[in-house]
Amino acid sequence: METAAAAGVTAARREAVGAPTGKGSTVKVKEIMTSPVITVSEDTPVTDVAAKLRRNRISAVPVVDDSGAVVGLISEHDLLARKGGAAREVMTREVITASQETDVDEVRHLLVERRIRRVPVVDGGRLVGIVSRGDVVALLIVEWACQVCGQTERGPDAPPARCPTCNAPRENFVLQEPPPGT
């Protein structure tokens, strides 16, 4: 298992590829991750994995051990490309993970550069959430503006508790409509 930091996500690297550096970014993975996460065990039959993906309308599922640690990931591609009877036989074992405190910009970089579709979120070695491309894309359209100082913040469905610039409370934020064509 590889963490976001170990995957080469450094400020210098992001700047080199022209990606946002996260400076001024206040959105952390814990704010946009999906939790609880639908999971399977290593012993889950492949037919049950396929049924779970279809039933939940998801394209992949983390594989966890008895302690809740991520030991792999099974995607629709894995099910189509590999033969086996149980999750352990078809799962991808090299899984990049992030912590709850990882900047969303770092996860965005991983999704693009590594061409992956989701990043499991771990805390103390245990799976606590998952962030997909769709979760990050949703941030592109949600922007809040502080009516006191004009500071804008992108984030999940609710504005920040306080403005990072003027410390105004949440009530002073209004939802900004995205410009046409975005």
pLDDT of residue 144: 87
**Is the model's pLDDT at 157 over the cut of 70?**
no
pLDDT of residue 158: 78
Domain boundaries, the chain: 2-30+37-119, 143-176
**142 or 26: which leads in pLDDT:** 142
Residue 28 sits at the vertex; the CA angle it makes with 63 and 119, to the nearest 5 degrees, is: 25
Question: What predicted TM-score, i.e. pTM, was given to this entire model?
Answer: 0.69
- Domain 2-30+37-119: assigned CATH number: 3.10.580.10
pLDDT of residue 165: 93
- Give the Cα separation of 40 and 63 in Å (integer): 5
